[in-house]
């Protein structure tokens, strides 16, 4: 009976600690800040604003302390085409570890292939689903 009791107590402790860990990991699984930005306007001023914002966030928080992702979809997709007005800045952003993601559903709708897009663009099937996913993972959402 004493042994049974001891086992039960141990079990209680293990379950309790599991609960504690489960809670804390829900808050933030790692210590880096996270932000996802949306570009869905066909407007180079908005593209520049998003890129400014990304740069700003990295400068303020420290580029190694924050994950920055820009999701580009809908009429915004022109931002990532080879002839983009901000092609140079996109390269800079990528070199600074800003993840830039194009929506393949949008590309399909506009008959664009990866050959039409800037090098090193990342791809997701649906930009909006990516924005949902990132918010669920604890990313702040910014819509410039």
Can residue 63 be called a binding residue for its own copies (CB under 8 A)?
no
- Minimum Å gap between C-beta 119 and its own copies is 26
Can residue 33 be called a binding residue for its own copies (CB under 8 A)?
yes
- Minimum Å gap between C-beta 134 and its own copies is 9
Asked if residue 73 lies in contact with residue 36, where contact means CB atoms within 8 angstroms, the answer is no
> CA dihedral defined by 8, 9, 12, 13, rounded to 10 degrees?
-140
Q: Which two tokens stand for residue 16?
A: 């309790």
Which residue from 69, 80, 98, 144 is in contact with its own copies, where contact means CB under 8 A? 144
- Residue 88, classified by CB atoms within 10 Å of its CB into exposed (0-12), middle (13-18) or buried (19+), is exposed
Q: What residue ranges bind its own copies (CB under 8 A)?
A: 1-2, 5-6, 8-13, 15-20, 22-24, 26-27, 33, 35, 38, 40, 45, 49, 52-53, 56-57, 60-61, 74-75, 105, 125-126, 128-129, 131-132, 135-136, 140-144
């Amino acid at each position: 009976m004493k042994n049974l009791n001891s086992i039960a107590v141990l079990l209680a402790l293990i379950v309790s600690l599991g609960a504690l860990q489960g809670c804390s990991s829900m808050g933030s699984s790692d210590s880096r800040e996270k932000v996802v930005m949306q570009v869905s306007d066909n407007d180079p001023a908005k593209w520049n604003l998003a890129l400014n914002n990304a740069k700003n966030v990295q400068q303020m928080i420290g580029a190694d302390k924050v994950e920055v992702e820009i999701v580009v979809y809908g009429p915004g997709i022109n931002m990532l085409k080879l002839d983009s007005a901000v092609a140079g800045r996109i390269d800079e952003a990528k070199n600074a570890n800003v993840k830039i993601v194009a929506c393949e559903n949008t590309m399909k709708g506009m008959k664009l292939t990866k050959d039409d897009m800037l090098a090193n663009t990342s791809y997701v099937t649906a930009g909006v689903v990516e924005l949902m996913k990132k918010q669920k993972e604890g990313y702040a959402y910014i819509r410039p």
